[in-house]
Chains A and B, each alone.
Chain A
Amino acid sequence: GDSVTQMEGPVTLSEEAFLTINCTYTATGYPSLFWYVQYPGEGLQLLLKATKADDKGSNKGFEATYRKETTSFHLEKGSVQVSDSAVYFCALDPSGSARQLTFGSGTQLTVLP
């Protein structure tokens, strides 16, 4: 079946450091890929998405590129801020149907001032 594997956290960085959170997936066909973010005490919010190979999703300084050859969708940001501290979830949708959305287990990011 479809699955998403994220790097295990927690990840702790200093402000202005470079961030990479790895995400790889297993799926048949051509899934859409997403990153969601969950700030403390809140639900998940869509951060960015990519719907086909080589697409780059970007938002709030975060980027991720859909790499079909390596089945990856790594999240990157060049300079993190304290306000980026949150849990980040990679997810895939194999068919365009939200009820088939499969989430990774999440990566906790803490950014220190």
Chain B
Amino acid sequence: ETGVTQTPRHLVMGMTNKKSLKCEQHLGHNAMYWYKQSAKKPLELMFVYSLEERVENNSVPSRFSPECPNSSHLFLHLHTLQPEDSALYLCASSRTQRNNSPLHFGNGTRLTVT
């Protein structure tokens, strides 16, 4: 039990589908993150939500849409994805965004776009 739970673990979707990834943290943290992990590339921060602010990476396409209804839950809504979006999507949380607060990661959702 990592304290950060992601569902589903695996997802296969067609390019015309709409799906959502879910993340839940039980650590009482106030900041949550979506990262994209592709083979042989550094982790890419996609979105950050915290009590202080929402931060977006401007290079993330609009076919990825985050939602953070409260400090414990984070969603990533997916629509009309491309095959190059296939990757491991990791959710993380931290106590705050600042003060070197370490990240706690979930086990990820392995997404395959066909």
A residues engaging B (CB < 8 A)?
4, 32, 34, 36, 41-46, 49, 51, 89, 93, 96-99, 101-106
Contacts and interface: CB of A to CB of B under 8 A. Distances in A.
B111 to A, nearest CB: 15
Q: Which 8 A-B pairs have the closest CB atoms?
A: A43-B105, A103-B43, A99-B48, A46-B102, A44-B105, A103-B42, A105-B42, A43-B107
A32 B100 contact: yes
Nearest to B96: A98
Nearest to A95: B98
A104 B42 contact: yes
Interface of B: 2, 4, 6, 31, 33, 40-43, 45, 48, 55, 90-92, 94, 96-108
A98 B90 contact: no
A43 B90 contact: yes
A44 B92 CA distance: 9
Nearest to B4: A43
Given A43-B6, A98-B103, 16 more contacts: A4-B42, A34-B102, A36-B103, A41-B107, A42-B105, A42-B107, A43-B106, A45-B105, A49-B102, A97-B98, A98-B31, A98-B97, A99-B45, A99-B48, A99-B97, A105-B40
Nearest to A90: B42
A89 B98 contact: no
Contacts of B33: 98-99
